[in-house]
Amino acid sequence: MRVTRRKLAPAAASLAALAATSKAFGQQTNENVKWRLTSSFPKSLDTLFGAAQTIVRIVGEMTDGKFALQAFGAGEIVPGLQVLDAVANGTVECGHSYTGYYIGKNPSFIFDGSLPFGFTPRQHQAWVMYGDGRKLMDEVYDSFGIVALPAGQTGGQMFGWFRKELKTPADFVGLKIRTAGFGGKVFSKLGAVPQQIAGGDIYPALERGTIDACEWVGPYDDEKLGFNKVAKYYYTPGVMELEATNHLMINKAAWNSLPPRYQAVLRYACAFAQTEMMASYDAKNATAIARLVAAGTQLSVLPEEVIKALRGALETVLDEEAAQNEQFKRILANWRQFRAEQHRWFSIADTRAELAVYRSER
């Protein structure tokens, strides 16, 4: 077959276009970017802080080190509960944190963190990806000049550690309890005195009697922090946090300055960290709870009367917040409808199947 100039011209044009594209792609990936990533969590909590380390590692690997993140633990740059501020004002480019720490700035943050009697991890993911969750929450983040990517999931948590038994809702009156997010507002309705304390400061407060009870995450981290040494009763079910999502918060101007490929890499790294953290906790908590019980921890179940009182208090708090904040009201209506649909479906499918399997193993 004879190759003519007419036949060669289109091929040459295609090769030129491909070369131009490749050159642009190469230039993009050759761009060196260095960011600081501050965490709300101390380095001693390997699973929580580990999410930040995972993000750093994957971003580095996927860009041949050209997009370099450096992770800092709570307090190394800013205190653990001030990550959002540090990101919003540009002190750092990004930070890893839990949105429930910032409900004083905007109560709507809690919908993308964890709400009592709310979603499981899968249900929350469904709301964010296939409900209106992402659109509604991005409006909140935009008002603070940040972009937030889900980057960690604890899974279901325990209710918490208590020095004394809980028998009735009256036992909450005057109880000083460390909690975060909307848990504090709910406990307040029952007469408790909530305290928001960073993870590394909880043990000394509990040991000194500054607080009477605490909740953190679950058996693995709670054992690591030593709560079982200063509180005897460990309560389930964890109705206050059926899931808890952590996020990589990114300064919006810094995000917009990134090449598109680096944005995609960061999204992937955060998604992987999300999956990895939940798998890690699921594996570690199963063995940690056995160690705690063997060491003398009394695994206790909340009385039904207490659970009903907590649920009633939650709905009151939600309605009160909605009456004061139009954005919160709009998100709540969407969230409640999605929750009702998800809880109905999961009660038909997963919950009944799981209970049947667990009972058959006894």
Asked if the model's pLDDT at residue 12 lies above 70, the reply is no
How many secondary structure helices (H) and strands (E) does the chain include?
Answer: 13, 11
Q: To the nearest 10°, report the CA torsion of 273, 274, 279, 282.
A: 130
Of residues 28 and 353, the one with the higher pLDDT is: 353
Of residues 9 and 346, the one with the higher pLDDT is: 346
Q: In this structure, what token pair is assigned to residue 60?
A: 């580095």
Can you tell me the distance from the alpha carbon of 353 to that of 90, in angstroms, rounded to the nearest whole number? 48
Mean pLDDT over residues 234-261, rounded? 98
Sign of the torsion angle spanned by Cα atoms 6, 10, 11, 12: positive
Specify the length of the chain in residues: 362
- β pairing state of 245-251 and 94-98: antiparallel
Which percentage of the chain shows pLDDT scores above 70? 91
Mean pLDDT over residues 330-359, rounded? 96
Q: Are 255 and 147 in contact (CB under 8 A)?
A: yes
Asked if the model's pLDDT at residue 362 lies above 60, the reply is yes
Can you tell me the distance from the alpha carbon of 215 to that of 155, in angstroms, rounded to the nearest whole number? 14
**Which pLDDT belongs to residue 199?**
85
Confidence category of residue 200, pLDDT binned at 50, 70, 90: confident
Q: How many CA atoms lie within 13 A of 287 on its CB side?
A: 5
Q: In this predicted model, what pLDDT tens digit does every residue of 299-322 receive, in sequence order?
A: 999 999 999 999 999 999 999 999
Which percentage of the chain shows pLDDT scores above 90? 89
Separation in Å, CA 146 to CA 80, 255, 285 = 18, 8, 33
**Which pLDDT belongs to residue 252?**
98
Q: In this predicted model, what pLDDT tens digit does every residue of 71-129 receive, in sequence order?
A: 999 999 999 999 999 999 999 999 999 999 999 999 999 999 999 999 999 999 999 99
**Which pLDDT belongs to residue 361?**
86
Asked if the model's pLDDT at residue 218 lies above 70, the reply is yes
**Which pLDDT belongs to residue 29?**
52
Q: How many CA atoms lie within 13 A of 82 on its CB side?
A: 10
What residues are paired with 251 via a beta bridge? 146
Mean pLDDT over residues 338-356, rounded? 96
* Arithmetic mean of pLDDT over the chain: 92
Mean pLDDT over residues 139-156, rounded? 98
Mean pLDDT over residues 146-151, rounded? 98
Asked if the model's pLDDT at residue 248 lies above 70, the reply is yes
Q: How many CA atoms lie within 13 A of 184 on its CB side?
A: 19
Least confident of 34-43, 94-103, 197-206, 317-326: 197-206
